[in-house]
Each structure stands twice: as C-alpha cells, then as structure tokens.
Amino acid sequence: MKSKPGRPAVLVDVAVLAGVSTMTVSRVLNAPERVRAETRARVLAAVKELDYRPNQAARQLVTGRSGVLGVVSIDTTLYGPASTLYCIEQAARHAGYNVSIASLSSLNRRSMEEGMQRLRAQAVDGVIIVAPHESAADGLRHLPPEMPVVAVDAGDDIPVPVAKVDQRAGAARATKHLLSLGHETVRHVAGPADWLDANDRIEGWRGVLESAGRPVPEILRGDWSSRSGYELGRRLAEDPEVTAVFVANDQMALGVLRALGEAGRRVPEDVSVAGFDDIPEAAYFWPPLTTVRQDFGAVGRYAFHMLLDRMAGAEPEARRLVEPELVVRESTGPAPRRVSRA
C-alpha cells in the first residue's frame, strides 16, 4: 500500500504496509526496545518505503518525549572518534530518533556544560557523550542529574555508564602477535598523553612485555598524524636493534613505514610493524598493514541501547567493553636472524 498521491504517509499507512497495528508502529518509533527484532525490522522497512516522517510535535504531546537524542563530541576528523560518532547516529536514526550534535573544540568541564545547555534547550530526551580525553572526566562528574547520559570511550572512574572498545586487549593482541613471531621485544609509538585510548594501549602493550619477561623500551609519543609517525619512525630506523614496532594508530603507522623504507629497513624482513584501527586504507598500504580492528558499530549500538535503558528509568550495566580483532597482513613476519659474531 502506498500513501495517496499528493499527501504524505501517515501512521496508519505504515501499519497497513507492515501488517501490524498502529500501536505497534508507535512502539517501534518511540520505544523500539519493547518490540521484537523481526517486527521492528518490518515496520522500519515500511517507514523507509513510504518515506514516513513522524509529526514530532504530536509525538511529544503523546509520549512526553521529543524523539531527539543529543551527542556531545570533540570536533575532530580523526578516524576513531569520527567513526564512533557516525555509528551512534546511525543506531539512533535506525530506531526512529533524530540526533542533535554538539561539537566541541575541547572536552573540559566548562565546554561540556555549554554543550549540554545547548542540547537541553532543544529538549533532547537523553545524551551520549563521546569522551576520549582525560580532561573530560571532571565534566562527566558534574552532569545535570535529571538528564539521562551515557558516555563512550570514557575512563573507569566516572558515575555514568560507558561503552567502549577494550583498548588494552587490542594492544595486548598486537604485542603478543609480534612476540610470537620471535621478536625479543616490541617498540611502541604511542598517541598523545591526554587521550585515554592512547594510555590504555600503552598499558596493554606494557603488560604483555612484563608478563613475558621481555625488555620494556621507552615509548615514543606521537600526535596521531602520519607526520609524527614518520618523524618517530626515522629515529627507530637508526637503531639496528629494532625489529618490531606496535604503533597506536594506522595513520602514524603509515609514517613509520615510509621512514623505515627510506632508511633501507625492509618491512617485514627487517622490521615488523603493526597498527591500530584498521582504517579503510590499511589493507592498501605497502606492505598491507597488520592492525587491530575496532567495531565502532557495536559501540554505537550498545551506547544507544544503554541510553534507552536510562531514559526508561532502568540502570544499564556500568561498563560495556567491545572486543577488538587482530587483522594479520603482510607488514609483520618472523624476527630476522641474528648473525653470530666469532
């Protein structure tokens, strides 16, 4: 069934096409967690086919909700935070919610309060805060108590539920992989000191080396950019003892690969390199990059459903960790043989 030419689709049109009651359609749009997945998918398919657009003013009168969720995020084009933001937005829109985004230049208490004020003025039903910086912790401890809030990529000592990728587990898997290839130890090019993910990856890397009784080299700090990876890679290339490098993101790994190549250090024959993120270009680096893949889609879905729980008055689990996946490609290989000296 199509809506009549010249008029927009209404709720009953969606119900007839999906073969359900209007009440079920309303539940899918307003409380999707209460509807079976199969029914929800059928209703959302009908919504898409008919290009049905709920009347937000009427919806708010009936449910007491605006149908709008807020997202507070740092203003960045970095792959991880940008992908997280996109997946949160997709999860919300798929369930019939509109999304209002407050992009901030920094994540301190004052800026987060300003971002929350902007969203509260729009009568959002709840807020997801993408908080990958150490500086966000203070702001997360001083949120308005009446607003349902969930955080993504935040620290462990905050009073709101958190969904995040298990960064330590990902770093540990990359480090274990390199040790399993016979490398005596693994150098680490880390991210900026104020990023929680960067510090968690350091902990995962260091923990594996310490447990294995291997030397723990001094870390090298980059700023997530390929340029910083290149500059630090030039330093690593000068050290003939370096045979394995775990880099905290793929962009910096790209710079490390170039620096090693320019210095005549072959990858992986002389030096193995592993990254983190599995950006779309990682499989097309030369050589293709071994890296840790983060499931941003799962993080977005978990954060969204945790927020729905809070909006419904329930208390979701305090922490939801998403397991990362090690993707092995051609940039890692067996440790080079040491030539014995007579």
At a CB cut-off of 8 Å and minimum separation 6, what does 93 contact? 99
Q: Average pLDDT, stretch 84-110?
A: 83
- Count Cα atoms within 13 angstroms, Cβ side, for 220: 22
pTM of this structure: 0.78
Q: Which two tokens stand for residue 60?
A: 């708010």
If 0-12 CB within 10 Å is exposed, 13-18 middle and 19+ buried, where does residue 7 land? exposed
| pLDDT tens, position by position, 22-50 | 888 877 876 666 788 889 889 888 888 88
| pLDDT tens, position by position, 173-184 | 999 999 999 999
If 0-12 CB within 10 Å is exposed, 13-18 middle and 19+ buried, where does residue 191 land? buried
* Residue 198 near residue 191, CB atoms below 8 Å: yes
3-state secondary structure at position 17:
helix
C-alpha torsion sign, points 72, 299, 292, 201: positive
Hey, what amino acid is at 294?
Answer: Q
The pLDDT, as a whole number, for residue 8 is 75
Q: Average pLDDT, stretch 2-16?
A: 71
Q: Which two tokens stand for residue 255?
A: 């710079």
